Amino acid sequence: MNARTPEPGERTPSTRDIRRWRQYLADEQAEAAVYRDLANRRAGEERQILLALADAEGRHEEHWRQLLGSNIGSPRRGALRTRFLALLARRFGSVFVLALAQRAEGRSPYDADADATNAMAADETVHEEVVRGLAARGRKRLSGTFRAAVFGVNDGLVSNLALVLGIGATGVPAATILFTGIAGLLAGALSMGAGEYVSVRSQRELLEASTPAAPAKSVLSHLDLAANELTLVYRARGMSEDEAEAYARGVLATAYAATGPISAVSPQAPTHDEHEAIGTGTGAALSSFCFFASGALLPVLPYLFGMSGYAAIIVATILVGVALLATGAVVGLLSGGPPLKRALRQLVIGLGAAAVTYLLGLVFGTTLG
């Protein structure tokens, strides 16, 4: 490639500039690869959007190629976080990758870099919103089961740690603490599973009761065009009187003219299944049961391996603390928020609740003793 001729008055790039541009080039190549890998695991509109994002990164890549000219050098590797995203995209292609990509787009350095064009900086800001929208679709698809899983594992971690610490503080034998913890695990997991099943089934039944029922063509054709009571259907669903009147007249005109069945009760075709957003009762129940049990098991592990006294309490607290940090970070990633902040919040709340129970156990243990 021929060297790029500097424009009149343009500065000659320094070694530091060239190094930075090369890194930008590598990052753009890696980001485009992430979007292409994600597109390969999707179809329809989402695939087209992801390929368009990859093309946009390609335009940015060309900008740095032009600036570098003959200084482009040997290919470099993208930033570690981008390469990690690429690995996840190839292996999983999940909402986690989109959530991480959203945060990566939000950290673009182009706003503060004079060598990047205003259009490139604007692109990166828009890309963040595009990826946020794609991630939101994935969040809706897993929100019901994921909510039950997160709630279940955290409830298991905190409630059983509090139970084990509270009982342990009274000075009872280690075997008593172990069986109490196992009983708490089973009781809590069964209760959580049953509660989630009833909750989700009730929510789905409420949605089903509110889902519009499509009247047959013969019913529509018998409606009085002058009275047009179909207008009331749309007004009841939130349209203004004028909007409902205009839409209902169009529906009735179609009903009289068309030969096929009419879908007349929904002003707009649904863009997603509301039932999908809350999950199924069975899925939520199983998820809640398993995750509560897995969380509640951690505080019991030291006692299962024969530990007792303060050593068991410290190990149980550490295990639960690590798990709380992990679940908090995952929630932060999926929500597009800062993982560290979410992790620390989860840790403080969980261990704070357990500490209160432990102190109460010490008080009651002293009183009973």
Contact 299, 158 (CB under 8 A): no
Q: Which of 50-64, 117-131, 231-245 has the highest mean pLDDT?
A: 50-64
- Please say if the pLDDT value at position 264 is more than 50: no
Confidence at 319, pLDDT banded by 50, 70, 90: very high
- Which tops the pLDDT comparison, 139 or 66? 66
- Which tops the pLDDT comparison, 217 or 301? 301
For the chain, the average pLDDT equals 74
Specify the pLDDT at position 88. 59
Specify the pLDDT at position 216. 41
- Please say if the pLDDT value at position 219 is more than 60: no
Specify the pLDDT at position 3. 42
- Averaged over 253-265, what is the pLDDT? 51
- Which tops the pLDDT comparison, 219 or 80? 80
Contact 1, 72 (CB under 8 A): yes
Specify the pLDDT at position 315. 93
Specify the pLDDT at position 211. 47
pLDDT in tens, 2-26: 444 445 445 577 888 888 888 888 8
Query: What six digits make up the tokens of 53?
Result: 């994002």
Lowest mean pLDDT among 120-124, 148-152, 169-173: 148-152
pLDDT in tens, 232-249: 767 776 778 888 778 777
pLDDT in tens, 352-369: 888 888 888 777 765 444
- Which tops the pLDDT comparison, 336 or 177? 177
- Please say if the pLDDT value at position 301 is more than 90: yes
Q: Count other C-beta atoms under 10 Å from residue 90's C-beta.
A: 15
Rounded CA separation 349/159 (Å): 12
With a pLDDT cut of 90, the percent of the chain lying above it is 8
Confidence at 256, pLDDT banded by 50, 70, 90: low
Specify the pLDDT at position 232. 74
- Which tops the pLDDT comparison, 224 or 282? 282
Specify the pLDDT at position 223. 52
* Three-class secondary structure assignment of the chain: CCCCCCCCCCCCCCHHHHHHHHHHHHHHHHHHHHHHHHHHCCCHHHHHHHHHHHHHHHHHHHHHHHHHHHHCCCCCCCCHHHHHHHHHHHHCCCHHHHHHHHHHHCCCCHHHCCCCCHHHHHHHHHHHHHHHHHHHHHHHHHHHHHHHHHHHHHHHHHHHHHHHHHHHHCCCCHHHHHHHHHHHHHHHHHHHHHHHHHHHHHHHHHHHHHCCCCCCHHHHHCCCCCCCCHHHHHHHCCCCHHHHHHHHHHHHHHHHHCCCCCCCCCCCCCCCCHHHHHCCHHHHHHHHHHHHHHHHHHHHHHHHCCCCHHHHHHHHHHHHHHHHHHHHHHHHHHHCCCHHHHHHHHHHHHHHHHHHHHHHHHHHHHHHC
Lowest mean pLDDT among 107-111, 293-297, 310-314: 107-111
- Averaged over 74-99, what is the pLDDT? 63
Rounded CA separation 26/79 (Å): 8
Confidence at 89, pLDDT banded by 50, 70, 90: low
Specify the pLDDT at position 343. 86
Q: Which is nearest to 266 in space by CA: 288, 244, 240?
A: 244
Specify the pLDDT at position 320. 92
Q: Which of 12-26, 279-293, 296-310 has the highest mean pLDDT?
A: 296-310
- Please say if the pLDDT value at position 199 is more than 50: yes
